[in-house]
Amino acid sequence: MNNPIPADKQEEFLIRKAQEVLISGNLQLLEGTEQELILVEPYFPEPRLIILGGATLLNPWLNLERKQGFPLQL
């Protein structure tokens, strides 16, 4: 880790690295400004379907939720 990120480029650099981490699925340890170390780690939570609304809207979405294997929470 020899090349710290210039302060004026840090946000742009971190966004680009976060995108790379999400694509690769591998974490990265980066050297920030001065003596900062930045850990960029991908996190992929289980997908959820949240349904808000009245009963007339609820039934078709619940059927879809069951068919797609989402956990059911009422």
pTM given for the model? 0.51
Q: Which residues partner with 40 through β-bridges? A: 28
Quick one: pLDDT at residue 11? 83
Helix, strand or coil, per DSSP, at residue 74: coil
Handedness of CA 43, 16, 3, 33 (dihedral sign): negative
Q: Where are the domains of the chain?
A: 7-40, 47-74
Q: Could you state, in chain order, the average pLDDT of each consecutive group of 10 residues for the chain (74 residues)?
A: 66 87 90 80 82 74 78 67
The pLDDT of residue 24: 93
Phi, psi of 37 (to 5 degrees): -115, 135
